[in-house]
């Protein structure tokens, strides 16, 4: 059952793909829109990884899915943090006052929700 969800997720991810002409690169490959969608893909894969610990993965195809998630699990977390850090770096470069309200606006708000 989990494998069906993963295949469905892969198909959904491929729907909006955009390819560059042969021999050229997309100029917006690190734009906010692209990196946000990439972070979303990694976040969903992380959620799948956490889901497998709560669901029965004793089926033949589900065990394949669980093995794949085990192999790429830490890589997905690393890439998610890389793209998140890149977004913060770009925000700091564009706005010099980014850290002025950081403690109050980000840290305390997150701590309160947590």
> Number of folded domains in the chain?
1
Does residue 23 lie in a domain region? no
Please check the confidence at residue 29 and state whether its pLDDT lies above 80: no
Residues 80 and 42: beta-carbon distance below 8 Å: yes
Please check the confidence at residue 80 and state whether its pLDDT lies above 80: yes
Looking at residue 62, its pLDDT comes to 74
3-class secondary structure, 35? helix
Does residue 5 lie in a domain region? no
- Where residue 1 falls among pLDDT bands split at 50, 70, 90? low
Does residue 13 lie in a domain region? no
Does residue 95 lie in a domain region? yes
Does residue 3 lie in a domain region? no
Please compute the mean of the pLDDT values over residues 85-94 and round it to a whole number: 83
Looking at residue 2, its pLDDT comes to 67
Supply the range of the domain harboring residue 70.
29-113
> 43 exposed, middle or buried (CB, 10 Å; 0-12, 13-18, 19+)?
middle
Q: How many CB atoms lie within 10 A of CB 17?
A: 6
Does residue 7 lie in a domain region? no
For residue 103, the Cα-to-chain-centroid distance in whole angstroms is 25
Per the confidence metrics, is the pTM higher than 0.85?
A: no
Does residue 70 lie in a domain region? yes
pLDDT in tens, 41-52: 888 888 877 877
């Amino acid at each position: 059952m989990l494998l069906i969800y993963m295949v469905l997720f892969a198909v959904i991810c491929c729907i909006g793909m955009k390819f560059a002409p042969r021999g050229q690169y997309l100029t917006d490959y690190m734009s906010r829109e692209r990196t946000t969608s990439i972070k979303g893909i990694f976040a969903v894969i992380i959620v799948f990884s956490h889901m497998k610990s709560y669901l029965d993965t004793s089926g033949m195809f589900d065990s394949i899915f669980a093995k794949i998630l085990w192999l790429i699990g830490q890589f997905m977390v690393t890439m998610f943090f890389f793209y998140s850090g890149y977004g913060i770096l770009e925000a700091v470069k564009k706005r010099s006052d980014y850290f002025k309200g950081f403690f109050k606006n980000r840290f305390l708000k997150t701590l309160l929700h947590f």
